[in-house]
Chain A
Amino acid sequence: NAGVTQTPKFRILKIGQSMTLQCTQDMNHNYMYWYRQDPGMGLKLIYYSVGAGITDKGEVPNGYNVSRSTTEDFPLRLELAAPSQTSVYFCASSYYYGYTFGSGTRLTVV
């Protein structure tokens, strides 16, 4: 009964480096999402997916990429890290209405 699992929990990147944030859910949910959370800004949607092979941009997609090859996994890729991508990233999944969130990845770009 793991729910939504995100790895890593913390990461420091140098400007220009790339990395993948992993997200896995074991609830067989079709919908999956990536949000970023900045202080005082709430949560902003980066990308979402309505099922395997289908993804779409959210409110703040620039600088990120996603893929959804399976129902369980929804990785988020940062190709050229920038200081503006310093944030806490949350993955979530849903079946009908209401999310189950992962515990987040705190990313710092220096």
Chain B
Amino acid sequence: AQSVTQPDIHITVSEGASLELRCNYSYGATPYLFWYVQSPGQGLQLLLKYFSGDTLVQGIKGFEAEFKRSQSSFNLRKPSVHWSDAAEYFCAVGADTGNQFYFGTGTSLTVIP
């Protein structure tokens, strides 16, 4: 069965510190992987996506993610967090048809000054 696990429900980091959000997936076919960010009261915005090729993908707002097939992981990273990065982050996996995506339960990020 397809599933996405985000083990960290909530993470707190200091502004300027580095960040890594974990994502593990279970998927029967070649996975298409995504990270979304949701600010309070808003919809989800696509940060980055991985389909194939280079396993390190760059996204918007200075985020990057690395696909590790052997670990079934797609962790999101940022070298230096800004206060405006405080939000909810969702990892998602889907098929190449684009019909359906499976979302993790999200990680809430708090940034302290």
Using CB atoms and an 8 Å cutoff, list the residues of chain A in contact with chain B. 4, 31, 35, 40-43, 45, 48, 50, 56, 58, 90, 92, 94, 96-104
Interchain CB contact under 8 A, B44 and A97? no
Asked if A96 contacts B103 (CB within 8 A), the reply is: no
Of residues 32 through 53 on chain B, the ones whose CB sits less than 8 Å from some CB of chain A are 32, 34, 36, 41-46, 49, 51
Please state if B90 and A42 are interface contacts (CB–CB under 8 Å): yes
- The one of B32, B43, B104 in contact with A101, judged by C-beta atoms closer than 8 angstroms, is B43
How far does the alpha carbon of A50 sit from the alpha carbon of B100 in the complex, in Å? 10
Contacts of A98 in B (CB 8 A): 34, 46, 49
- Kindly state the separation between the CA atoms of A99 and B45 in the bound complex, as whole angstroms: 8
* B contact residues around A99 at 8 Å (CB): 36, 44, 46, 101
Contact status of A31 and B98, CB under 8 A, knowing A90-B43, A97-B49: yes
- Which B residues fall within an 8 A CB radius of A? 4, 9, 32, 34, 36, 41-46, 49, 51, 90, 94, 96, 98-101, 103-106
- A residues less than 8 Å from B49 (CB atoms): 97-98
- Determine whether the beta carbon of A97 is less than 8 Å from that of B105: no
Interface of A is mostly: strand
Contacts A45-B101, A101-B45 given; 19 further ones with Cβ under 8 A?
Answer: A4-B43, A31-B99, A41-B105, A42-B90, A43-B90, A45-B100, A50-B99, A90-B44, A96-B98, A97-B32, A97-B96, A98-B49, A99-B46, A100-B46, A101-B44, A102-B43, A103-B41, A103-B43, A104-B43
The 10 sampled A-B contact pairs (Cβ below 8 Å) are A35-B103, A45-B101, A92-B44, A94-B98, A97-B51, A98-B34, A98-B49, A99-B44, A99-B46, A104-B41
Distance between Cα atoms of A42 and B102 in the complex (Å)? 9
